[in-house]
């Protein structure tokens, strides 16, 4: 730190190149791959950036190391997509002490002092969960399905995407009298999703809904359901619900293998760039910005859902959506 660091920081920005250190969660899902690509193509040399990209392989300790490296390298901005919400206070204080602005992207951090990061942009995961569950309620009513026995495959425990989507389901289950017959993490991966579904099917013969917290878990769950000799889809044994709407996820929503897919938009590169441009211009960006996200379904039984007095349109997946 100290005077030398300031001097070299000034030198860094005088050539017009902005150095961004991005600590990425990992490569656990199609969503994550799309997110990494969005960041890499936005923060390219051609656009006037130097991107230092670190893949933490879903381990927070790797992210702590990456951030400390970014501080040592005196980057202009630190961008953090946190694995889980807690445990960031110390390292973010170090970044603050070094005078490096921090942008949180995708998932949120839970810190005692909000000034430890400058701003956040990402999905509203609780709202995503609520949208999915209000859709399920309306769909079950429309179809006359009286009893819901739900297998719940969670994301990485402690990640905002897991916390919000789980809260959405648990609150709806309580409110509507649904049974959550099994609940376990699939770590947001296809392999774990399949493994978890396999064991849930062995222990429960009455599952008629599986609520997967992302598309890759749904891909694995569908494989496990089919391997167990059961069927998915509107007329099948089990309704598969999912989040993300990655390309393969939307394609499966078009066939009904996934009955309802709530969007989580991964294209955060341009959004983060806008925040950086604001800060470069000396403006203070909005502290917390949520991205607008849709609900995509196989059928057209439900046209919209309402949450806290706000209506959200439901889109039936057709060739045009793909
Ligand atoms: O934080 C976003 C979530 O992380 C996505 O839903 C999931 O696919 C990814 O791994």
| pLDDT more than 90, % of the chain | 94
145-175: per-residue pLDDT in tens?
Answer: 999 999 999 999 999 999 999 999 999 999 9
Which domains occur in the chain, in start order? Answer: 2-122+266-290 (3.40.50.2300), 125-264+295-316 (3.40.50.2300)
CA torsion sign for 83, 89, 94, 99 is positive
Give the pLDDT score at 14. Answer: 55
Atom of ligand 1 at shortest range from CA of 188: 10
Give the pLDDT score at 251. Answer: 97
Mean pLDDT of the chain: 95
Q: What are phi and psi of 243, to 5 degrees?
A: -130, 155
Half-sphere exposure of 153 (CA within 13 A, CB side): 36
Q: ipTM of the assembly?
A: 0.99
- Output the CA 29–ligand 1 centroid distance in Å: 7
Residue 176 has pLDDT above 90, yes or no: yes
Give the pLDDT score at 319. Answer: 87
182-222: per-residue pLDDT in tens?
Answer: 999 999 999 999 999 999 999 999 999 999 999 999 999 99
119-152: per-residue pLDDT in tens?
Answer: 999 999 999 999 999 999 999 999 999 999 999 9
Atom of ligand 1 at shortest range from CA of 106: 1
- Output the CA 225–ligand 1 centroid distance in Å: 22
13 — pLDDT class (breaks 50, 70, 90): low
Which residue among 24, 27, 32 is best mutated to probe the pocket of ligand 1, counting the most ligand atoms within 8 A of its Cβ?
32
Which residue among 128, 160, 214 is best mutated to probe the pocket of ligand 1, counting the most ligand atoms within 8 A of its Cβ?
214
- CA distances to 69, 136, 258 from 242, in Å: 36, 11, 7
Give the pLDDT score at 12. Answer: 45
Rg of the chain taking only CA atoms, in angstroms: 21
Count H helices, E strands: the chain?
Answer: 10, 14
**Which residue's C-alpha comes closest to atom 2 of ligand 1?**
161
Atom of ligand 1 at shortest range from CA of 81: 1
Give the pLDDT score at 132. Answer: 99
Atom of ligand 1 at shortest range from CA of 26: 10
């Amino acid at each position: 730190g100290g005077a030398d660091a300031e001097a070299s920081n000034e030198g860094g920005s005088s050539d017009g190149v902005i150095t961004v250190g991005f600590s990425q969660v990992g490569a656990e899902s199609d969503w994550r791959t799309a997110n990494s690509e969005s960041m890499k193509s936005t923060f390219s040399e051609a656009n006037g950036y130097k991107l230092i990209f670190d893949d933490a392989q879903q381990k927070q300790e790797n992210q702590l190391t990456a951030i400390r490296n970014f501080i040592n390298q005196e980057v202009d901005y630190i961008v953090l997509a946190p694995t889980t919400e807690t445990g960031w206070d110390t390292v973010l204080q170090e970044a603050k002490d070094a005078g490096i602005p921090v942008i949180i992207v995708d998932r949120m951090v839970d810190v005692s002092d909000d000034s430890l990061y400058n701003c956040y942009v990402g999905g509203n995961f609780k709202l995503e969960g609520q949208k999915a569950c209000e859709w399920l309620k309306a769909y079950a009513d429309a179809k006359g399905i009286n009893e819901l026995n739900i297998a719940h495959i969670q994301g990485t425990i402690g990640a905002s995407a897991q916390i919000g989507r789980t809260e959405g389901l648990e609150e709806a289950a309580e409110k509507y009298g649904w049974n959550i017959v099994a609940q376990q993490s699939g770590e947001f991966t296809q392999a774990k999703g399949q493994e978890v579904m396999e064991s849930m099917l062995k222990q429960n013969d009455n599952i008629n809904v599986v609520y997967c917290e992302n598309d890759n878990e749904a891909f694995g769950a569908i494989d496990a359901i089919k391997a167990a000799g059961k069927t998915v889809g509107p007329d099948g044994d089990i309704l598969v619900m999912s989040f993300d709407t990655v390309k393969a996820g939307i394609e499966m929503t078009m066939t009904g293998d996934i009955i309802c897919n709530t969007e989580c938009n991964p294209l955060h590169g341009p959004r983060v760039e806008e925040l950086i441009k604001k800060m470069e211009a000396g403006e203070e960006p909005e502290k917390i910005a949520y991205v607008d996200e849709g609900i995509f379904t196989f059928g057209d039984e439900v046209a919209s859902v309402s949450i806290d007095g706000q209506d959200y349109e439901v889109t039936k997946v057709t060739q045009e959506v793909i």
